[in-house]
Amino acid sequence: MGKRTPGAGVMPPMGDAGAVDQDLVKRVQRGDKTAFDLLVRKYQHKVIKLVSRYVYDPSDAHDVAQEAFIKAYRALPGFRGDSAFYTWLYRIAINTAKNHVAARNRAPVSSVSEFGNEDSEVDFSARLSDIDTPEALLLTDEVRRTILSAIDALPQDLRTALILREIEGMSYEEIAKTMECPVGTVRSRLFRARDTIDAELKKIEGLT
């Protein structure tokens, strides 16, 4: 195989990761599509893993990750570098995943009607999952403390179900196996846990 020419699919010398990303971003903004390919290669596995916290089907997660990269590519001309590239990319991936979940759950789902609609779950999941994502910067300290305090105060079975669902991203069936209980019990525990935390959030949001 012949040698590659500089800039043609070759990663810049490794040093400061932010500087490397910044260099690649500038190249993309100048019209170098191969530079974006390098960014995709660098972050694709991390983005897929991040998206998988929201989108549990592996095939859908890959599609959502691809959509996120497409959105990032289209938005890069306006990227000013006010934040690190990876933080900006992760925020796009998170929002794309949330939109996918919200769109999916707008369809009627009879299996969860007993415990409220799926849209409310999506809203709650978004707020809770934000705790340990780049979007945590958008949460006030008071909201963050309220959520964490409310989780800690939950009975153990409710707290475990909530963490497995919202933080670890397990399906209802996986949680049921882990906690050795019926899926219906898992749904009931999650509903009670979310209701408790939402009640605490409403107090500080002035919605009561």
Label each residue of 3-47 as H, E or C.
Answer: CCCCCCCCCCCCCCHHHHHHHHHHHHHCCCHHHHHHHHHHHHHHH
Per-residue pLDDT tens digits for 138-168: 456 677 778 888 888 888 788 878 877 887 6
Task: Please tell me the predicted confidence (pLDDT) of residue 126.
Answer: 58
Residue 82: partners with Cβ closer than 8 Å, 6 or more residues away: none
Task: Please tell me the predicted confidence (pLDDT) of residue 141.
Answer: 67
Task: Please tell me the predicted confidence (pLDDT) of residue 75.
Answer: 94
CATH class for the region spanning 109-205: mainly alpha
Task: Please tell me the predicted confidence (pLDDT) of residue 26.
Answer: 94
Task: Please tell me the predicted confidence (pLDDT) of residue 82.
Answer: 81
Stretches in the chain below the pLDDT threshold 70: 1-17, 107-141, 168, 170, 205-208
Q: Tell which CATH classification among 1.10.1740.10, 3.30.450.40, 1.10.3720.10, 3.40.120.10 matches the domain 18-104.
A: 1.10.1740.10
Position 140: which residue type? T
Distance CA 64, CA 75 (A): 16
Instruction: Write the CA distances from 191 to 95, 125, 162, 208, integer angstroms.
Output: 24, 12, 9, 19
SS3 content of the chain, % helix, strand, coil (to 5): 75, 0, 25
